[in-house]
Structure 1
Amino acid sequence: MKKLCAMLLCFSMMFLTGCACWDEKEMNEIGIVTGIAIDKDAQTNHYQITLQVILPGNMQKNQENNKKPYKDISSEGDTFFSAQRKLSQKYERSPFYSHNGLIIVDEAVAREGMNNILDFFTRDIESRDNMLLAVAKDTKARDVLDYDNKTERIPSIALSKFDNVSFRNPGSVYKTLLDFNQSCYAYGMDPLLGIFSLTPEMNSLQTQTGTQSADGQQTDINYAGSAVFAFDKFQGFLSEDETTAYNFAAGKIKSAVVNVNGLQDQNSLITTQVLCEHSHIEPHFNGSEISFDINISDVSNIDEVHDDTDVTDIDVIAKLEEEHNEKVKALVEELLNKTQTEYKSDILGLGQSFYKKYPRQWEKIKNNWPEIYPTVRCNVIVKSTLVRTGMTNNKNKAEY
């Protein structure tokens, strides 16, 4: 018995110490990927992929030669995986995706359909589903990936952190790979992605923070607006205001600025700041017609007054609330008109809300929802409450 126990112990120790994982990778054999750009070559119809990988030897900040701590490596192929395999011709390490936080695709890839190119990341065990997924507008994805904004030593890490400022930027959306897949494969909902663009610098004072374009012009990064999809195919862009309207209707506003006309001078502006916001979509079905109430409520304060409006007057506050409501309502109605008539894309998930309230009726219409959605009537209801006017009562001269 003692001999048997001793033999079992020896075998156990051998398996615990001598067995290695079949797919283990040493740190000096992998290239840690922090960002991926995917473009489409119009001539060859191949995917052009660019991986941004860390160069550990250049990560020290006190280097005299000031070398870049990253490297962009590119290849092309019929699929992402075949293009990745060709990277071995240019890069001696195996790409490692567990630390990747960003995928940027160009318009050509998005128009063709995202599911084919994203299938690799959905299946690959190393990929994270919380990585930022975005579309490059009017530029190549690889140019956005390599944008040096001087705040981070590795550009792709800086780009993946745009979720940290989304609460100050209601004209943008921060969507991940998981968000896209959930919207894409759900009945009654279509995906929406954020967009990156490179714009000419506003003035010469920014030349130290910009990146030069191919023609030598200084450019700035811009993360505003959004890209609309029907299933997995790109349909078009939403402007910054239209994206703000989406966030209002979807209840995703954390902070926003709404400018309304002054009550004393229509050419002047009064700025209200949204402090918190909520929305609720209520579907209705009368047996033949489908309609929706989009209820939006927010709490705001007055941040800036450009005319002599007396913001201490209760009646004035009521009028400003009405102006605020009308402004937000108009924005959301313009958004709905565009998504229903031009893009035919249900980015607000109206079909999802209809399914939750009328599941039996939904089963009858779900396959025809893309044709039904453009015809449904939407009633936008906005209710704002102004709670603060700031530390200044009014701008009238004091009487002595």
Structure 2
Amino acid sequence: MKKNLIVLSLIFLILILSGCWSKRELNDLALVAALGIDFIDGEYAISVQVIDPSQVSLKSANGQAPVVTYHAEGKTVFEAVRKILALSPRKLYFAHLQLVVVGEELADKGIRDSVDFLARDQEIRNDFTIIVSQQATAKDVLNVLTPIEKIPASRMLNSLKITQDAWGSTLEVDVEDLVTDLGVNDQYFVLSAIEVLGDKTLGIDQTNVERIETPVKLKFTGLAIFKEDKLLGYIDEYNSKSFSYLNDNIKSTIEIISCPSDGELTTEITQSKTKTKGIFKDGQPTININIDIVQNVAEVKCDIDLTDIKTIDWINNQTEKHIKKNTNQVLNIFQENYQADVLGFGEAIHRANPTEWRKIKDDWQTIYPEVEVNVKVNVYTRGLGTLQNSKLKE
């Protein structure tokens, strides 16, 4: 009797644990690396960048493009995606989606509905990055073939991450973070902006990756500023770097200062830590920002004595003034040009004094442009490189 029960139990488990009933073979799927969403003539225009595995593999590549793009239009994003099936030889598979490019016209209209679809779809993972195409459609961006990195989506994502870590002018934002921002009323946020440099019609040609200097390039140009789900405008890469200082997002970058007599000196920022504190001073909301920086001397193009402690103090002082000037400049853009509390000063005031915040919360939009912001920069120079003074100049 016991043996019969065991056999019946095993048969039952075999029936309920047959895990291959919904399997999908790789040969039946089209792997989507990037998705582009435009809004043109009242409809959503969808572009998908599909990987051609035979061209990515070194053994079977025959010189064809490593990716193929398909395009379709629809009244909704979902409808347009389904209509692409009439063009694609395989079913689209979004589980490996790396990047979503939002067209500028859609960004002006509002991205909430599109993000809702991306976050709601069960097949799409929530760790892909979202960027905005500046002065171009998402279709134009996805059509550009790129050298070195065979898959353009991987090239864009790698470039974004490298720029964020080594220069500080980009910001990697995934859909989960974006959904959180869109869930707050009057919320401001930024997305990295990318531009197509060169003739857009040539980017789709295979010759774009066969030349020493490619005629069409993709470049991250700075950050796009959003209020709720609509695009307000852009800041360039230098102001974006200053924003990263204020947002405590600088991992490494460089600064260039003018020498006392003639020439320039370049420093490498190796550490940066920013603390933002809100206070009420004389009954008025005030923001104090403290930025602590560690740097190395990287390049010297002037006659200067790096063995003198006064010279190091001077370098520290000049770097402090330079960064403070640039951060104040981007703060003026946010306060005067866009009236956009991108850095979350309202939340800093709220944390500092919830009682006083409740009194001004409803008027914060009109108060914010006049809020006093004090930036203090502290710089410490740690390294001078392998040479203290240049033997070449001697």
Gaps in structure 1 of 5+ consecutive residues: 212-217
1:171-190 map, 5 Å? 171-186=169-184, 190=188
1:315-354 map, 5 Å? 315-354=310-349
1:16-95 map, 5 Å? 16-17=17-18, 20-21=21-22, 25-41=24-40, 44-63=41-60, 65-95=62-92
State the shift of 1:187 in Å.
6.3
- Residue 108 of structure 1 corresponds to 105
- Residue 280 of structure 1 corresponds to 275
Q: Distance in 2 between matches of 1:209 and 1:135?
A: 28
Contact 2:196 2:216 in 1 (8 A): yes
State the shift of 1:196 in Å.
1.0
- Seen in structure 2, the aligned counterparts of structure 1 residues 372 and 93 have a Cα distance that, compared at 3 Å, is farther
Give 1:231's aligned amino acid: E
Residue of 289, 310, 313 corresponding to 2:284: 289
Residue-by-residue CA offset, 1:115-150 (whole Å, 9 max, x unaligned):
111111111122222212111111221222232221
SS, match of residue 71 in structure 1: strand
Give 2:167's aligned amino acid: N
State the shift of 1:89 in Å.
1.8
SS, match of residue 318 in structure 1: helix
Q: TM-score, normalised by structure 2?
A: 0.88
Residue of 301, 304, 307 corresponding to 2:302: 307
Q: Distance in 1 between matches of 2:112 and 2:264?
A: 45
1:122-271 map, 5 Å? 122-162=119-159, 163-186=161-184, 190-200=188-198, 208=211, 211=214, 218-265=215-262, 268-271=263-266
Q: Distance in 2 between matches of 1:315 and 1:26?
A: 68
Identity of aligned residues (%): 27
State the shift of 1:29 in Å.
3.1
Residue-by-residue CA offset, 1:47-73 (whole Å, 9 max, x unaligned):
111001123344432346322232111
State the shift of 1:95 in Å.
1.7
State the shift of 1:377 in Å.
1.2
- Residue 13 of structure 2 corresponds to 12
- Seen in structure 2, the aligned counterparts of structure 1 residues 18 and 79 have a Cα distance that, compared at 3 Å, is closer
Give 1:301's aligned amino acid: N
State the shift of 1:38 in Å.
1.4
Q: Distance in 2 between matches of 1:90 and 1:133?
A: 25
Contact 1:148 1:210 in 2 (8 A): no
State the shift of 1:393 in Å.
3.4
1:358-397 map, 5 Å? 358-394=353-389
Q: Distance in 1 between matches of 2:62 and 2:20?
A: 43
State the shift of 1:248 in Å.
0.9
Contact 1:52 1:71 in 2 (8 A): yes
State the shift of 1:220 in Å.
1.9
Residue-by-residue CA offset, 1:274-320 (whole Å, 9 max, x unaligned):
11110000100247311100111101122222222222222222122
SS, match of residue 172 in structure 2: coil
Gaps in structure 2 of 5+ consecutive residues: 200-208
Contact 1:40 1:48 in 2 (8 A): yes
- Residue 214 of structure 1 corresponds to none
Q: Distance in 1 between matches of 2:112 and 2:309?
A: 54
* Higher mean C-alpha deviation, range 81-90 or range 183-192: 183-192
Q: Distance in 2 between matches of 1:235 and 1:188?
A: 13
- Seen in structure 2, the aligned counterparts of structure 1 residues 122 and 313 have a Cα distance that, compared at 3 Å, is same
Give 2:226's aligned amino acid: F
Q: TM-score, normalised by structure 1?
A: 0.87
* Higher mean C-alpha deviation, range 236-245 or range 190-199: 190-199
- Seen in structure 2, the aligned counterparts of structure 1 residues 207 and 8 have a Cα distance that, compared at 3 Å, is closer
- Seen in structure 2, the aligned counterparts of structure 1 residues 72 and 376 have a Cα distance that, compared at 3 Å, is same
- Residue 202 of structure 2 corresponds to none
Q: Distance in 1 between matches of 2:145 and 2:392?
A: 50
Q: Distance in 1 between matches of 2:6 and 2:127?
A: 48
SS, match of residue 233 in structure 2: strand
Give 2:67's aligned amino acid: Y
State the shift of 1:231 in Å.
1.4
Q: Distance in 2 between matches of 1:271 and 1:130?
A: 36
**Would you say how many aligned residue pairs link Structure 1 and Structure 2?**
383
- Residue 357 of structure 1 corresponds to 352
State the shift of 1:226 in Å.
0.9
Give 1:85's aligned amino acid: R
Q: Distance in 1 between matches of 2:70 and 2:298?
A: 48
